[in-house]
Structure 1
């Protein structure tokens, strides 16, 4: 995957290094310093990695340090490991993931097409190209290579790609509700679809992403479409969930939504009290 999707970023990196005043020798020295510091199961924070690089005489001011750490991961030397508190850490990729799969380019195209469509679908071919940074021709080759694993389905926004498993599961599924967290999960949905009509009704975008600033409110989803937003308030003996519906929900549908919050109550370890705001 690094070889497949790293070609363009690495070509662009040469121009970035010229802008930062870095040459190839400096980058190689920085990688060698990280390799030595991390070999043998080492795990260092971002600051410690920069200290290891600086100890070899390579200065890392501002964006220079960021670029050197990015480059080490992009070429497969390092990868990001679990954080220490709020600090990001790095390890050697060959030690962290010693049993790596070596895919041909064609197999890698198939793999990324299947995984992206499965996790983000329904999507378009252009969505796949935009997310991976690959050309549309390569993305089309990956979808074709996927064969029956990817299907074309009809959506609110026209024909899109979906995994065969998801299409089969959805074809006989009744209407149900789910609750999604704010930033991470809904952004993943939004990033996978250029046309927000695929999951949002007209006029609801501002309610979900106020000011279009990229910060998503937590949402209630029914049958794949956003029908409300929610927020929590943690109290001493209970967790209060305040739901604001965006579309009209009957008593049964509200009951399904409240059932969808049950796992969240387990997660926070507190009884839930769900209240509903004004009607849309």
Structure 2
């Protein structure tokens, strides 16, 4: 192939992330990506399923129910799915920097001092020791019974901070509602070597998200640049690299860029802006907008329509009892082939939900 373009890199990432060349199941997807951002449970379910050869809601759901995959705060101060065997070392490596955000936010949001935070934490842990798999509302009631009412936002930060300390983790969902359990009851203890973990993190990130840059890794894992460089140094003999647009990109050495005449199937994707295709990068994120049509800065939509690795429209998903509507606001005029690709992926998405599909282009 001649000199790589942004479009080539974007199509390469589609394949690396299994948006083309699907994985066999949800366990393979989560393991390959290492972490999958997961604020919105229903839409993240599709983000994982669309990367599999036979999308099935019971696939990821069963892994979460059994505890093979956990949903917890890790990497950045936000929810992610990760395999249970990975979550311990990931938290031990990355949580200290993230806790600077959650810890300070907790004190400000609830006007709390260290003693009160410690008291609330103990009530939560004692409640879960007595009976695990409790919802946030149930933990709030337990705190209120002890005369502590931090408020909803402060409670959310408290639980996130306890997750980052490896004291809480997700329990078995109840009727679709997230629950909490003690980390020690859900996650096996494993040895931790910091230097080894940095190398593993770099290797897993670049093989699961590559081609990507060092600064993409810094953002994704909330690492210092020094730690990211140390991890890359430990892993680089198992990676390959190339230069593009003044940046060095790293990737799995067994993975070559797609040929330009190679079909990218499926061509269309309807995804959250939180999807790993977008949120998995920062430094080189916008290779998915090689034409420069998407406004930079703060995201103006919660969803994106992608064709051949390029963002072509904002996307809003609305679900009712019979159908799912995808409202698309194009950044430019959609080509006939683009519309057909998005209609096809809308049908796949709707079939996954067991609903009819409706696509509205504004």
Q: Give me the whole-angstrom Cα distance separating, in 2, the residues matched to 1:41 and 1:246.
A: 54
Q: Give SS of 1:39's match.
A: helix
Task: Give the structure 1 partner of residue 62 of structure 2.
Answer: none
Point out where structure 1 has 5 or more consecutive residues left out of the alignment: none
Matched, 1:189 2:274: no
1:113-192 map, 5 Å: 113-155=202-244, 158-165=247-254, 167-168=255-256, 170=258, 174-176=262-264, 177-184=266-273, 186=275, 188-192=277-281
Residue among 195, 200, 211 paired with 1:111: 200
Residue among 160, 164, 167 paired with 1:70: 160
Task: Give the structure 1 partner of residue 82 of structure 2.
Answer: none
Shift of 1:77: 1.0
Structure 1 residues 9, 32: closer, same or farther in 2, change over 3 A?
Answer: same
Q: Which has the higher contact order (CA 8 A, sep 6+)?
A: 2
Which deviations, in whole Å up to 9, do the C-alpha atoms of 1:215-256 show, x marking residues without a partner? Answer: 24432331x3335667789899998878869578586x8777
Question: Contact 2:216/2:281 (CA < 8 Å) preserved in 1?
Answer: yes
Task: Give the structure 1 partner of residue 40 of structure 2.
Answer: none
Q: Give me the whole-angstrom Cα distance separating, in 2, the residues matched to 1:236 and 1:59.
A: 37
- TM-score of the superposed pair, with normalisation by structure 2: 0.59
Deviation larger for 45-54 or 83-92: 83-92
Structure 1 residues 112, 54: closer, same or farther in 2, change over 3 A?
Answer: farther
Task: Give the structure 1 partner of residue 93 of structure 2.
Answer: 4
1:35-114 map, 5 Å: 35-39=125-129, 42-61=132-151, 63-81=153-171, 83-84=173-174, 87-97=177-187, 99-114=188-203
Q: Give me the whole-angstrom Cα distance separating, in 2, the residues matched to 1:7 and 1:170.
A: 39
- Greater C-alpha radius of gyration: 1
Shift of 1:101: 3.2
CA RMSD of aligned residues (A): 4.0
Deviation larger for 86-95 or 122-131: 86-95
Question: Contact 1:81/1:89 (CA < 8 Å) preserved in 2?
Answer: yes
Question: Contact 2:215/2:282 (CA < 8 Å) preserved in 1?
Answer: no
Q: Give me the whole-angstrom Cα distance separating, in 1, the residues matched to 2:157 and 2:351.
A: 41
Q: Give me the whole-angstrom Cα distance separating, in 2, the residues matched to 1:63 and 1:52.
A: 16
Deviation larger for 102-111 or 57-66: 57-66
Question: Contact 1:187/1:216 (CA < 8 Å) preserved in 2?
Answer: no
Matched, 1:215 2:301: yes
Question: Contact 1:221/1:228 (CA < 8 Å) preserved in 2?
Answer: no
Structure 1 residues 200, 82: closer, same or farther in 2, change over 3 A?
Answer: farther
Shift of 1:16: 4.5
Matched, 1:225 2:313: no
- TM-score of the superposed pair, with normalisation by structure 1: 0.73
Question: Contact 2:171/2:179 (CA < 8 Å) preserved in 1?
Answer: yes
Shift of 1:74: 1.5
Question: Contact 2:301/2:314 (CA < 8 Å) preserved in 1?
Answer: no
Point out where structure 2 has 5 or more consecutive residues left out of the alignment: 1-89
Structure 1 residues 185, 156: closer, same or farther in 2, change over 3 A?
Answer: farther
Q: Give me the whole-angstrom Cα distance separating, in 1, the residues matched to 2:153 and 2:327.
A: 42
Q: Give SS of 1:134's match.
A: coil
